[in-house]
Amino acid sequence: MKIRPVLTGAFAGLVLGCAAAVAQEAPAGPGRPDVKTVGDWLVRCFPVANTNPCDMFQEQVRGDDQARQRVLTFSLAFVPSMNRHILQITVPLDIDIQKGVTLQAGDYKSPLMKYRMCNREGCFVQVAPDNAVIEALARATVPSAAVNIVADGGKAVSLPVSLKGFAAAHDDMVAQNRAKAKSAPAGDAAAKP
């Protein structure tokens, strides 16, 4: 099962540029990201020259060290040149692709977000969310948000995302991206608003 994304223009460059920075594995040695823990979040800054070198990241796993299974990853980046965020959520396979994903924090529920692709690691949502999504998460008075998905059999599942430290991690990540981001080359779709 694989969904092929159909992305165009600035959004394609924005999403694909972020996905490449977010999805890359940190190599051993000097190429490792600078990582800071803020609450239950990691603020990661990769040693790359792009428009959004830092993100805030959280991963949920099940099982012990022998049989760990990744259940959810949540990565949020900020592109200063566009004043926009990029959100990537990864969930396990065996989901109902047509149902998409929503985020819920207290009384706030996001618009439906569609899956962009699936591979052996899971299924991915990659979107440039409205500021209302980020503001709702930062202001939430509940300890966690929920990533709501639907399994292949139709069962609704809520995967928790801790909000402990969300606002502080977000502020730190945005400040670091403003300081470290490199402009995209002329003609690059990611650089065009």
The pLDDT of residue 69 is 84
The pLDDT of residue 193 is 36
The pLDDT of residue 3 is 35
Residue 112 CA: distances (Å) to CA of 27, 61, 99, 115, 182: 35, 24, 8, 10, 32
The pLDDT of residue 185 is 54
The pLDDT of residue 26 is 40
Q: What is the CA radius of gyration of the chain?
A: 16
Q: Please report the domains of the chain, with CATH numbers, ordered by start residue.
A: 9-180 (2.60.40.1880)
Largest pairwise CA distance in the chain: 48
Residue 141 CA: distances (Å) to CA of 42, 65, 159, 163, 167: 20, 33, 18, 9, 11
- Indicate whether this model's pTM tops 0.95: no
Binned average pLDDT, 10 residues per bin, the chain of 193 residues: 34 41 44 94 95 96 78 96 96 94 95 95 95 93 96 94 97 96 59 38
